[in-house]
Amino acid sequence: MKITTPTLLLDKQKAIRNIRRMADKARQNGVRLRPHFKTHQSAQVGEWFREFGVEAITVSSVRMANYFANHGWNDIMVAFPANVLEIEMINELASRIKLHLIAVNQETIELLAQQLRHPVQLSLKIDTGYRRTGILATNYAELDQMVQKIREQDKMHFSGFVVHDGHTYKQNDVYAIQTIYNTSVYQLHMLRERYKSKFPNLQLSIGDTPSCSIIETLRGVDEIRPGNFVFYDLTQQRIGSCSFDDIAVCMACPVVAKHPERSEIILYGGSVHFSKDVILQEDASEAYGRVVELSGSGWSAPLEGIEVVSLSQEHGVVKATPEQFKKYQIGDLMGVLPVHSCLTANLMQGYLTTEGERLEHLMGVPPQELVS
C-alpha cells in the first residue's frame, strides 16, 4: 500500500506480544486483566485480546462503551467519573451489557439513583495519591455515606474500589513506582476490611501501565486495567515500562523540505497528527518524536543524531546531524515513534498494519454507525 500522507503504522506482532506479556503476568499473579481500550479504540485491535481470555474491558467514555458493546463486548467499565448528563445512553447500555460505572461523590450516586432504569455495577474511585479525582482513602465519613446510599438502591451493585495512579507517569525509578503501588494496595486493603462484612466480594482494581509493566509481583489486587501497554510509546520507554523495541506504533511522514544551512528537515506531520505531547529526555532536551528507519516489514530502533524538535499544526521540524541529514530526500517517508500513542492514535483515526491491513479507530467512525 502506497503511503502518501502522515500514516500511523501498527506492528501487529509487537502489539500481540505486548498483550501476551501482560496477560501472562495477570494469570501468573491471579488477577483479572481488564484492559483499557482507550489507547487503541479499535474494534479489530480489541479482537486480538480475546485469544488471551480477555472478556472484560475498560473504556474512558460512554460513547466508547457503546462502540465496543456494538462489537460484542458485554462487560465494560467506564473508568471516568459517571457523567449523569449521559443517562439516556447509560440506561440503553445497561439494558444490554454488564455496565460498570465509577462514582467519586455522593451527588452522582443520588442523581444515578433517581434516573437509572437498569442495574449497573458501581465502583468507588479512590484517590491514593494522584490527586486528580477520587475520594481520599481516609475520608471515611464520605465513604460511609456513599456506601450506605448505594446499599439502598436496587439498580446499583457495589462492586468495589478502583484506583488510577497517574503519578507513576512522573517517575522513572522502579522503586518509586513500587512504593506508589504498595501505598495504593495498602489503602485499598484498609477499605476492603472496613466494608467486607456487608460486601464480602468487593473487588480491588488498579490501572496504570507503568505499575502493571514494571512491577513483577502484582499482589493484593483483584484486577488490573492498563491500556497504553498494547502500543507503548516514548513516554513509557522513558519511565521504564518498555524497551524501544516494544513500541508497536510508528508514524510514517513524508519529507517535504530540507534546510541544509541549519541541518533541519521538514515533515508533513504536525500537532494535528502527533498531538503536542513532548518528552524530556535524559540529557534534558525536549523531543516531540524519535526518528527510526522504516523497512518493508517494520522499523529500526531510534536513530542517534536525529529527532523531532518542534511541531506546528501540519509541520514537523527534525534536527539532524549532517550525516543523518544527507540520508533523507524530498519525497521520502520518515518513521517517527510517538511521544504519546493514545493521543496520536486518537488524532490519526486509523491504522495501517505492517502487513498492509487498514484498521479502524472510533474517531474515524461516522456518528450514525455508532448507534446500535
Binding site for its own copies (CB under 8 A): 2-5, 38, 60-63, 80-86, 88-89, 104-105, 107-108, 111, 131-133, 136, 166, 254, 256-259, 261-262, 266, 268, 271-272, 275-277, 312-315, 317, 329-331, 333, 342-343, 346-347, 349, 363-364, 366-367
Which of 185, 348 has the CB closer to its own copies?
348
Output the smallest distance, CB 280 to its own copies, in A.
15
Output the smallest distance, CB 314 to its own copies, in A.
5
Output the smallest distance, CB 200 to its own copies, in A.
29
Q: Which long-range contacts link 2-7 to residues 24+ away (Cβ below 8 Å)? A: 3/252, 3/254, 3/333, 3/352, 4/254, 5/254, 5/268, 6/251, 6/252, 6/253, 6/254, 6/267, 6/268, 6/269, 6/273, 6/348, 7/251, 7/252, 7/348, 7/352
Which of 26, 59 has the CB closer to its own copies?
59
Contacts of 193 (CB under 8 A, 6+ apart): none
Output the smallest distance, CB 168 to its own copies, in A.
13
> What's phi and psi for 138, nearest 5 deg?
-100, 5
Which of 191, 255 has the CB closer to its own copies?
255
Q: Please tell me the distance from the alpha carbon of residue 87 to that of residue 23, in angstroms, as a whole number.
A: 33
B/e letters for 101-133, b = 16+ CB within 10 Å, e = fewer, are bbbbbbebbebbeeebeeebbbbbbbbbbbeee
Question: Residue 302 has what DSSP assignment?
Answer: P
Output the smallest distance, CB 124 to its own copies, in A.
12
Helix, strand, coil percentages for the chain (3-state, nearest 5): 35, 25, 35
Which of 3, 190 has the CB closer to its own copies?
3
Which of 218, 279 has the CB closer to its own copies?
279
Output the smallest distance, CB 366 to its own copies, in A.
4
Cα 312–Cα 316–Cα 321 angle in degrees, nearest 5: 135
Contact 159, 196 (CB under 8 A): no
Contact 120, 157 (CB under 8 A): yes
Which of 179, 349 has the CB closer to its own copies?
349
Which of 222, 324 has the CB closer to its own copies?
324
Output the smallest distance, CB 113 to its own copies, in A.
13
Contact 97, 73 (CB under 8 A): yes
Output the smallest distance, CB 12 to its own copies, in A.
22
Contact 164, 199 (CB under 8 A): no
Contact 205, 163 (CB under 8 A): yes
Which of 120, 218 has the CB closer to its own copies?
120
Contact 280, 345 (CB under 8 A): no
Which of 297, 329 has the CB closer to its own copies?
329
Output the smallest distance, CB 125 to its own copies, in A.
9
